[in-house]
Amino acid sequence: MQAAPLLDWAHDVLAARGIDIVGDPDETRRRPWSLLIRLPTSAGCLWAKANARAFAHEGPLIATLARLQPGTVHAPIAVDSDRGWLLSSDGGETFTGTDEQWTDVVRRYVHLQQTSAAHLDELRATGTPFLPPDRLLDIYAHYEAAAPGLAAAIEHYAQILTATGRITVEHNDLHARNVFANGALFDWGDAALTHPFLSVRMHGGSWRRAFLDAWSNTTPVDPVEIDAARRLAPLIGLVPWITVDPTMELRAQAVTMLLDALRGALQPHPG
């Protein structure tokens, strides 16, 4: 992933807005799936990000969510959807607020999910992976050799989730370091369009109750649905790793952890 084309694009976008880059760009993070560069400009610090093809939906998705519910996500300045590039303002420090303030973040996130559910066609047009429960076996197929014998259980619990009809955006990596101090969510590269309860972070986090309460305040939520989603959530967690080099240590650790969680949740299968 080369920095020069991203920087040329950012320069052109900013020049068209009368903004100059006034110092040396600083490559702050490079991973196999993304590149992040800090740009000192006449308008303050800005950030240019390049995503690998499997994560190129991030910019268009954020732009769409920012339009649907302004303030809940950190809106980009510009997006090149074909190349997976986005340019953003500096969001400041990440979230370090109180438990009560975090609960408010969770409630706003749930409201975003509920609002977005009515705009599924627009969200699909961003290229965000569309993974309703009846496609969870497609994810499992990538990992079945490492965790055989789970297909029947996945199909069983997926049918429970399919019957609810819930499909919306799932951030797939929601934690305090992906939220700015003002409550705006960022880093949506792992996101998927799926059942909203298919979240490893949520089921394993202290905010699980706040999340489920926010959903149940507006729509009936069955404990059977929650249980099915908890068991299948690792599958959505596995999605971002499908295209990453399997020899990468970080990938190997994450996949092992998620497959262990999936096995533990699905064995033994209930009949």
Residue 271's pLDDT is 57
Q: Which two tokens stand for residue 10?
A: 């950012």
Continuous H helices in 94-180: 99-116, 120-125, 136-141, 151-164
Residue 73's pLDDT is 97
User: CA 17 to CA 19: how far, in whole Å?
Assistant: 6
Q: Domains (ranges, CATH) in the chain?
A: 3-89 (3.30.200.20), 99-266 (3.90.1200.10)
Residue 267's pLDDT is 82
Residue 1's pLDDT is 79
Residue 130's pLDDT is 98
For the entire predicted model, the pTM comes to 0.96
Residue 269's pLDDT is 67
Residue 15's pLDDT is 97
User: CA 129 to CA 205: how far, in whole Å?
Assistant: 24
- The per-residue pLDDT string of the chain (271 residues; one tens digit each, 9 = 90 and over) reads 799 999 999 999 999 999 999 999 999 999 999 999 999 999 999 999 999 999 999 999 999 999 999 999 999 999 999 999 999 999 999 999 999 999 999 999 999 999 999 999 999 999 999 999 999 999 999 999 999 999 999 999 999 999 999 999 999 999 999 999 999 999 999 999 999 999 999 999 999 999 999 999 999 999 999 999 999 999 999 999 999 999 999 999 999 999 999 999 998 766 5
User: CA 254 to CA 244: how far, in whole Å?
Assistant: 11
Residue 270's pLDDT is 64
User: CA 14 to CA 8: how far, in whole Å?
Assistant: 10
Name residue 135's amino acid. Answer: R
